[in-house]
Structure 1
Amino acid sequence: MPDHTTPPSTASAAPPAAEASPAEAPRPRRYVETKTPRGVYVRVFIYVVATHVLLALMSLVVVMANSR
């Protein structure tokens, strides 16, 4: 058994796809420093929700402890 990682080429194999010319290639995205990335808003929202949930649980523990 040969140690080939790719199948041998055959005459009926399709030719490789034509590569896009540089004029048709999409432009790379520019980074704009004045615009905040969307991930920052998501993280801030998660942190705010998580801290409020933690505060609510801690408040509940204090209220239950004082009621005894």
Structure 2
Amino acid sequence: MQGHAVVVPSLKEKLEERLGERVALSTIYQMLARHGWRKLVPDTAHPQGNTALREDWKKKSD
């Protein structure tokens, strides 16, 4: 089985579009946990963010 990563805010937008109503982030996290999705990844990069620290965090979290 190959692992996958999900960025929740982008999933939230797509889910809300599909359902036609707002969905809480906690609901999405609970749904993912219920289905065994545990991989955490940083959200899209902030312009003032530290790229080196983000890459280091990603390496340590694998």
With CA pairs under 8 Å and 6+ residues apart, which has the higher RCO, 1 or 2? Answer: 2
Q: Which has the higher helix share?
A: 2
Find the structure with the greater CA-based Rg.
Answer: 1
TM-score computed with the length of structure 2 as normaliser:
0.22
